[in-house]
Amino acid sequence: MTLVLSRVTAHFADEKAREAPAIKDISFSIPAGAFVSIIGPSGAGKSTLMRVILGLMKHASGEVVRNFSRPAMVFQNYALFPWLSALDNVAFGLRMDGMPRKDREHVAREKLKEVGLLHLENHFPAALSGGQRQRVGLARALAISPDLLIMDEPFSNLDTITSEALKTDLLKIWRSYGMTILMVNHLIPDAIELSDEIIVMGAHPGHAEKTIPINLSRPRDTRSNQFFKEVDVLTETIRKIS
């Protein structure tokens, strides 16, 4: 297992909101190499959970077993460093690792080529579209060869065409890298299309309601009856807990 959470509870960072926890008694495990989505309503503590998993935030109780050493994250709002070009953004993690300039630029260029943006290596984030920024964010994460990739609603700020293209590329990358992916998703069809299993979270406080395995064969046919049936089941599950 790449990650095991056992009855994890965490509070909001805001002192005034400490009366109620952000997430409470969350337990689940993620197998190595799996693609797992977390889905749930606003206020379910999904982003808080991601920060606890990455160690960016302390949890109040419970146990987090992290069997990964190189986590990386792709953010909803891209979180690219505005003073760095696309190439330097991708190379950032490698620079922090102490990799020499020539080597890290070589790796960064390879990653930009994988996401189809080598021609924009000298552009700053301000000059890139949302989809391009997200691809640079993905390349930055891939550059450090992560064993766990966390993606926080990576498609939510993108148009449909761009997010469809990015989903296709993401699946290819996941298959070739063999890494574990944990994605926060708010779209049920996307979660079913991409994931091996889906963790459904409830809100107030955030808790893991249910883990649903997706047993459809890959590549997923998003127009098949089985796919629509899975969407119906998941939609009904979420409706019951909302």
Nearer to other proteins by C-beta: 114 or 209?
A: 114
CA–CA separation, 215 and 65 (whole Å): 26
Radius of gyration of the chain (CA): 18
Instruction: Pick one of 15, 69, 83, 215: the residue that binds other proteins (CB under 8 A).
Output: 83
Instruction: Pick one of 10, 23, 38, 72: the residue that binds other proteins (CB under 8 A).
Output: 72
CA–CA separation, 123 and 97 (whole Å): 23
Instruction: Pick one of 21, 92, 111, 200: the residue that binds other proteins (CB under 8 A).
Output: 92
Residues whose CB is less than 8 angstroms from the CB of residue 50 and which lie 6 or more positions away in sequence, other chains included? 73, 150, 152, 182, 184
Q: Which stretch binds other proteins (CB under 8 A): 70-78, 109-117, 200-208, 216-224?
A: 70-78
Binders of other proteins among residues 22 to 41 (CB under 8 A) are: none
CA–CA separation, 176 and 172 (whole Å): 6
Instruction: Pick one of 1, 17, 65, 96: the residue that binds other proteins (CB under 8 A).
Output: 96
CA–CA separation, 208 and 179 (whole Å): 23
Residue with the two structure tokens 């766990």:
148
Nearer to other proteins by C-beta: 3 or 144?
A: 144
Q: Which two tokens stand for residue 238?
A: 């979420």
Q: Which two tokens stand for residue 204?
A: 């107030």
Q: Which two tokens stand for residue 6?
A: 């056992």
Q: Does 21 bind other proteins (CB under 8 A)?
A: no
Nearer to other proteins by C-beta: 66 or 210?
A: 66
Nearer to other proteins by C-beta: 124 or 227?
A: 124
Binding site for other proteins (CB under 8 A): 51, 54, 56, 71-73, 75-77, 79-84, 92-93, 95-97, 124, 126, 140, 144
